[in-house]
Structure 1
Amino acid sequence: MTEVVVPLTVRDLTDADLAACGWYGTATDLAYVAEAIQRARRGEVDYLAVCPPSDLPVAVGGVDYTKPPGGATIWQLSVQAELRSCGIGSVLIGALEQLARGRGLSWVELGVDDSMSRPRALYERLGYVVSGSEIGSWDQEAADGSTVRYEARITLLRKQLT
């Protein structure tokens, strides 16, 4: 087996990047990302892209400084499906943690749908521990273009930043 090492750059996601983020999901999903970019301009969040030499995003995600009090929430994490399990998600999360640390925060939190064991295993490997649970709900675009309300039990995981 041959190993290929590709350098990655972590930078702010921009409006110009959205056209290259079709892998992220539906038009509704991308509208949430566009909204996050606007919030980043206001300083409420940081929203990052991980890019190979092509400078096209292969992973995106953010850190929200408006909640919870005393910490920050890492959210909207996604890695292009074909590139999952290559360490790119770990690079993204590490960069988001560093930004929170730079704001003087001592911990970050994220939530994971209980039906998604693979991302949860990554977060736990990165030092996140269960801090609670909640019911989450959001609108999702169905294949026919209609909107469906999705509900799930969310496990909250927290990490102390040192």
Structure 2
Amino acid sequence: MKVRDLTLDDLPAVLELEHLLFTDEAWSEETYRGELVDRSGTRRYVAVEDDGVLAGWAGLSAVAGQGDVLTIGVRPELQGRGIGSALLTALLEEAAVRGCAEIFLDVRADNDRARRLYERFGFTAVGVRKRYYQPSGVDAIVMMRQSRPGEAPARQGVGT
């Protein structure tokens, strides 16, 4: 398993998986292109390869000491093999380098597997965004993790 930067060359695989994983709530190609060529320096996207295949990807926004996990996706047939943990670890390491004291994320209220992953990494629920995901109308649970700048992320939960 290899963690590396996500590139524009990865877009076809990301978009295929994005629609498989997130269906009607998937990000568009235009959104990803905009994120990957963002020149503000506030974004970082990483990917995991497994035997030369894009296994998953994730993105972070970091501004003024606050990080936001923007997206995490793992190929369905490879879930449960630590890819989500590797991606989240990479994002938390980047957030620490950028001096983020707080990291936030939104997770679907019905995505128990993802919520358990985030909880293992020290995230706690701090709010709810009612009917956030559209068109499904599923609530988003807002989660936050506090850390000290330079702190290494907790690595827990192998197999996620």
Query: Can you give the 5+ residue segments of structure 1 that lack an aligned partner in the other structure?
Result: 1-7, 140-148
Distance 1:135 1:70 in 2: 26
Q: Does 1:20 align with 2:17?
A: no
Instruction: Write the mapping of 1:52-63 to structure 2, written as runs, cut at 5 A.
Output: 52-54=50-52, 56-63=53-60
**Matched-pair identity in %:** 28
**Does the aligned pair in 2 maintain the 1:18–1:30 contact within 8 Å?**
no
Query: Can you give the 5+ residue segments of structure 2 that lack an aligned partner in the other structure?
Result: 152-160
Aligned pair count reads: 142
Structure 2 SS opposite 1:57: strand
Query: Scaled by the length of structure 1, what TM-score is found?
Result: 0.77
1:65 is matched by which residue type in structure 2? Answer: A
Structure 1 SS opposite 2:9: helix
Instruction: Write the mapping of 1:1-162 to structure 2, written as runs, cut at 5 A.
Output: 8-21=1-14, 22-25=16-19, 29-31=27-29, 32-39=31-38, 41-54=39-52, 56-66=53-63, 70-135=65-130, 137=132, 149-161=135-147, 162=151
Shift of 1:91: 0.4
CA displacement 1:27-51 (0-9 Å, x = unmatched): 9634133332122x43121111111
* Pair member with larger Rg: 1
CA displacement 1:79-120 (0-9 Å, x = unmatched): 000001111000000000000100111121111111111111
Hey, which bits of structure 1, 4+ residues long, moved more than 6 A? Answer: none
Shift of 1:136: 5.3
**Does the aligned pair in 2 maintain the 1:108–1:158 contact within 8 Å?**
yes
**CA root-mean-square deviation:** 2.1
Distance 2:28 2:54 in 1: 13
The 3 A distance-change label for structure 1 pair 138 and 118 is closer
Partner of 1:4: none
1 or 2 for the larger relative contact order (CA 8 Å, sep ≥6)?
2
1:111 is matched by which residue type in structure 2? Answer: D
